[in-house]
Amino acid sequence: MDNTRVYKMSFASVYPHYIKKAEKKGRTKEELDTIIFWLTGYDQTALQKIIDNKTDFETFFAEAPQLNPNASKITGVICGYRVEEIKEELMQKIRYLDKLVDELAKGRAMEKILRK
């Protein structure tokens, strides 16, 4: 499957959809950002720069300070695929983020989302 289109999408174009999904279910942008920081190692300043520069997903994950060592504990189905079985590393990271946003929107406790 050719995922080039997904990889070249700007994070800034998807981020508002993540916010909307979380807020629609009574969660906050701050909680969403906490999840992004936990997964990628970015901080608020770096995240804002990514949004301002319209950085694509490929670069977003390639330049992430550090993928959380507990990311491999993210399991389950997202978009019809089991995240732990996705072979393509970049797509798996994107789906990790999607899965975390999904868990946030479904009301899961932050300590469980952050695999504590």
User: Rounded to two decimals, what is the model's pTM?
Assistant: 0.93
Q: How many CB atoms lie within 10 A of CB 52?
A: 9
CATH of domain 4-108: 1.10.8.290
Percentage of the residues of the chain whose pLDDT score is greater than 90: 91
> Can you give the residue ranges of every domain in the chain?
4-108
Please give the mean pLDDT across all residues of the chain. Answer: 95
pLDDT class of 18 with cuts at 50, 70, 90: very high
Cα dihedral 9, 67, 25, 21, rounded to 10, equals 0
Structural contact between residues 6 and 91, judged by C-beta atoms closer than 8 angstroms: yes
- Please write the tens of the pLDDT for every residue from 48-95: 999 999 999 999 999 999 999 999 999 999 988 899 999 999 999 999
Residue 96 has pLDDT above 60, yes or no: yes
Percentage of the residues of the chain whose pLDDT score is greater than 70: 98
